[in-house]
Structure 1
Amino acid sequence: MAKRIPRRAWQKLSAGRGAKGHRFYDWAQVAITAPSLAGHQYLLIRRNRRTGEIAYYRCYSPNAVPLSTLVTVAGSRWTVEEMFQSSKTLAGLDEHQVRRWDSWHRWVTLALVAHAFLAVAAALERRNHDPGDDGTSPDGLIPLTCNEIQRLFTALITQPAPDLAHRLHWSTWRRRHQARARRSHYHRRATLQP
């Protein structure tokens, strides 16, 4: 089906911003119908711009929607997957041996509250951060991330160190290094984009 779509029907759109900048793909939509459902149904087709790999999404909407809206919704799937992965990595969401429902429920609730704390703290930092075009501040740092907040929390609260200044200096160095890497990566991607 993707081979039968005319070239003019494909549009280069971003599926959202990822860790390495915008995720650009070629997108096309095909209206499909199913007699059992009212509303509008689409087959959304995503093509990787470099490899040509094809992915399909079946979409439904009660009203007609443009291709850009479908792409935005499809791109939000990555955000949900990243949040689950982050909850597993940072808060131990997947580290419970399920024996009883109530113990599992308490564990998952605690892990999600811990991850919510990290996410809110990172969001507040981003809101107070004045980034440039490359996402870094004038002092050359990226905003605190969930990973960095978890690292600092662990280092400063659960394992108090006699040398607090060293821990904070290490965090600043790491954030400055990440900012340089992000700038370089964005510059490289911008030069490679057709």
Structure 2
Amino acid sequence: MIFRTKPALALEMLADPVPAGVPFRWAGGDCVYGDNPTFVQGVRARGKWYVLDVSSGTQVWTEAPRVIPADQRPRPARGRPPTKPLVVGGRRRVDEIAAALPAGAWRRVVAGEGSQGPRMCEYAEVPVWFCEDELPGPTERLLVRRSLGQEPDIKYHRSNAPAEASLEKSARVRGVRWTIEEDIQSCKGECGLDEYETRGWVGWHHHTALSVLALAFLVLRKQPLREKRTPDDRTRSACAAAAPVGRASLGRGRDPEMVSVATGAQPPRRPQSPQAAPRRTRTAPK
């Protein structure tokens, strides 16, 4: 078995769907992939767009740098001739660029749908040239995301999407990762995705495929329950809500005491069976 890094494995995953004709446009990932020039160049070579996280210390050029090839650099009077190109222009860290952004550069956008409604955050974008192996790459978009609140959390992304892809679209693509992470957590909690005891790749793939298939089955079974109810259903629900507490209709085989307890009413009293009156006895006077 040959050791391969996460970016190398991810490139193989992206290479498989392309010949098979699986349609996809975007690729996303965290800093492990955004800080890896080989992965970024591989995604770009496949003609795909990406929104990848980068570290706060990532260095970029905010103005187009000038690259002098090694054979055109002046030769030193002593020593070996230069073998690497020379980049003319100063680089800056992405966190320094974000700190210097004016207030008007930020736009509030919806990054996705959450369990409690839309996920709102603020975004700003700057055209930059990322440093790839000490050389400038093509022009990209530095996206800076800032959460709402008194202590905002700031994240940095890089994207090669063209101008036709709006800032809102790029923010939503990045927000899809939250949904994927929630799906993984659901698969672990409901379908035992992390409860494998295998020692080989084949067994691990079998367990993972069955767990994901089980989660897909559960999602399909839940969809009919989320459909919009008919007017008759809403009318029956309104009538049931307006009924007095403790007067819910009982079906066949239902226990009246159990239904009454569930609706908050007191259980009905059962009639007591008549008992014979106690017999009086006379005692003789002493």
- Cα separation, 2, equivalents of 1:106 and 1:4: 50
- Cα separation, 2, equivalents of 1:80 and 1:28: 24
Q: 2:166 aligns with which of 52, 66, 69?
A: 66
Change (3 A) 1:67 1:117: same
- Cα separation, 2, equivalents of 1:105 and 1:81: 19
Shift of 1:16: 0.9
Q: Does the 8 A contact of 2:140 with 2:159 survive in 1?
A: yes
- The answer as to 2:180 corresponding to 1:84 is no
- Cα separation, 2, equivalents of 1:123 and 1:68: 28
SS of alignment partner, residue 46 of structure 1: strand
SS of alignment partner, residue 205 of structure 2: helix
1:43 is aligned with what amino acid? L
- Cα separation, 1, equivalents of 2:159 and 2:229: 37
| % identical equivalent positions | 33
2:160 is aligned with what amino acid? Y
Aligned positions of 1:110-121 closer than 5 A: 110-121=210-221
Encode CA deviations 1:57-100: one digit per residue, 9 max, x unaligned: 12222x22221111111111111111111111111111102212
Q: 1:7 aligns with which of 85, 99, 103?
A: 103
- The answer as to 2:116 corresponding to 1:17 is no
Structure-2 residue corresponding to 1:100: 200
Encode CA deviations 1:122-174: one digit per residue, 9 max, x unaligned: 23332x2359xxxxx9559xxxxxxxxxxxxxxxxxxxxxxxx89xxxxxx9x
Which structure has the larger Rg? 2
Question: Which structure is higher in helix share?
Answer: 1
Q: What is the root-mean-square deviation in Å for CA atoms of aligned residues?
A: 2.7
Q: Does the 8 A contact of 2:146 with 2:155 survive in 1?
A: yes
2:104 is aligned with what amino acid? R
Long gaps (5+) in structure 2: 1-96, 239-253, 256-261, 263-286
2:192 is aligned with what amino acid? G
Provide the TM-score with structure 1 as the length reference.
0.61
Matched pairs, number: 135
Structure-2 residue corresponding to 1:47: 146
- The answer as to 2:171 corresponding to 1:75 is no
- Cα separation, 2, equivalents of 1:58 and 1:122: 36
Moved more, 16-25 or 29-38: 29-38
Structure-1 residue corresponding to 2:128: 32
2:145 is aligned with what amino acid? R
- Cα separation, 2, equivalents of 1:124 and 1:73: 27
- Cα separation, 2, equivalents of 1:42 and 1:94: 37
Long gaps (5+) in structure 1: 132-136, 141-164, 167-172, 174-194
SS of alignment partner, residue 175 of structure 2: helix
Encode CA deviations 1:31-66: one digit per residue, 9 max, x unaligned: 11247655x5211111111022211112222x2222
